[in-house]
Structure 1
Amino acid sequence: MEYRRRALLGASAAGIAAAVGGCLGSDAEGEGSIAGEELALATTTSTEATGLLDEINAAFEERFGTRVAANAEGTGAAIRSARDGNADVILVHARSREDEFMQEGYGVNRRDLMFNDFVIVGPSDDPAGAGDAGGAAAAFDAIASAQAPFVSRGDESGTHTKELVIWEHADNEPGGEWYQSLGQGMGETLTHANEAGAYTLADRGTYLSRDDIDLEILVQGPIEDGPALLANPYGIMAVNPEIHSNVNYQLAMTYIGFVTSPEGQEIIAEFTANGEQLFYPEALSAEPNFQQYVPEGWQPDSADD
């Protein structure tokens, strides 16, 4: 789906800055109010499939009297929507793609939001021996060598992007009848892998939220002392109003302010499914990492003499 385009809220730069700076403590009916506005949020399927998105958005809507029009279709599609000016804010989990989006000027004010990790799951009898292979890339090598069935999301999502990174570290390449590229979300991919007795890469949150599948975690991510290669950080950023004048930048920054505030971070920390914590808040830190605000490797232009 595509979001309807809107005219940028008529406010001066100073007015926007004041509204954003005080949005978490101001009266929703007061000056600069965002009540009655609608936020276009493009995000990844894992936030929706786990139910976290509903929790966050309900709290935001109650607090500010706004509606969040969320479109959860994977990181790649979310970024494309934002590039086209069809979203006000994006919440995704593929840092390399986020950096490209920022470097090209489409995104502003990126924040680290939360994290979980990826896990390699498969049938409990583990016919390829992936669980004993010794790491993520080695597990993929074992699956490929055995030509055991593997289901890929194949949808340019954050999970698919991570899968391709793992294959780059492996000695084998995916392909052949044993490898199926589904082109669907995480929930559908888990369902298909479960029915086929196949392996797949899943974000821990979506996997833990499912109580209707028999797949088991065979390779843990860093939350359970697994390899750092399986880390899964989430970032959030506003679409640059200098590129797309139709986006609602004030509302986007209000949303970013809310989800990275103590209240928003508490919602993330306390959200569980089947008795398991699915995401871990990352926005609040005694020692903030300022690299979160700019693309990795970015350096300012040297000043002229």
Structure 2
Amino acid sequence: MKKVRLWQCLFLLGMAVLQVLLTEEISESAHRRNCFSYEKAFDNLRNHNLTKDQSDTFFDAAESDIDKFSELLTMYFASECQITDPRTLKEQLSDAKKYRGDEFSEIKEYVKCAWSDLLCFPVGKIVGKPDDTVGFENSWMQSRTFGGDRGHEGCDIMASENVRGIYPVYSMTDGVVENIGWLRLGGYRIGIRSPSGAYFYYAHLEEYAKDFQIGEQISAGTFLGFMGDTGYSDVEGTTGNFVVHLHMGIYLNDKNGTEFSVNSYPMLSYLWERQGGVLR
């Protein structure tokens, strides 16, 4: 009888231990799954819902190290842009790297690619008119209908003086000219691939500063041309279908080489504030 009771006790003890181990394994498995969401991070990377104050906070916390900044921003995106405290994000980093390292690294490299090479706000002063300026708002994925219903993949920098050919446009980064010429939607455009791999797309130019060649190396601050209102037509040189502005887009390539757009508004805001909120 005593042996039966002993075996019963041992069986119950074993079941209790097994239950604890299973609970811990389930909890650990859930933590591995939930410590980093690739889908959330990728969607929010594209939307780039980031204020100037938040980017400043992350840069300060990263001590201006672009790799650390990219890590914080990646975790911020994975949190659905809800966690803004760098200390909390840093605490979550180790688990994301440990359990979802490949996915975390992929998003981090996209972030780093978009932010690494920014040096120059893309619009400068009008000669002889120091008080004229520009304005821009977050118009990411707002509805556009020319050529079919679509979302706006970029940020429009609007001229305070609606005159084509007077606002100079400059390259935001060093890079290589990858595309140039007329596009139905973009009018006269130029596309520049930065050293980190991001593609910077400048559209609706009135004219080019010179005869740029595909493959030509340029520096940040290079004069590209003048802001205009070209585009929305198959007929090269068409103007007047909208007000004068610069459409500024940023595109990245995923690990399979497929291009996708990211919201350029936070990057433009960062450069604008960096130069004191005035044209130069």
Pick the structure with greater CA Rg: 2
* TM-score, structure 1 normalization: 0.25
Higher relative contact order (CA 8 A, sep 6+): 1
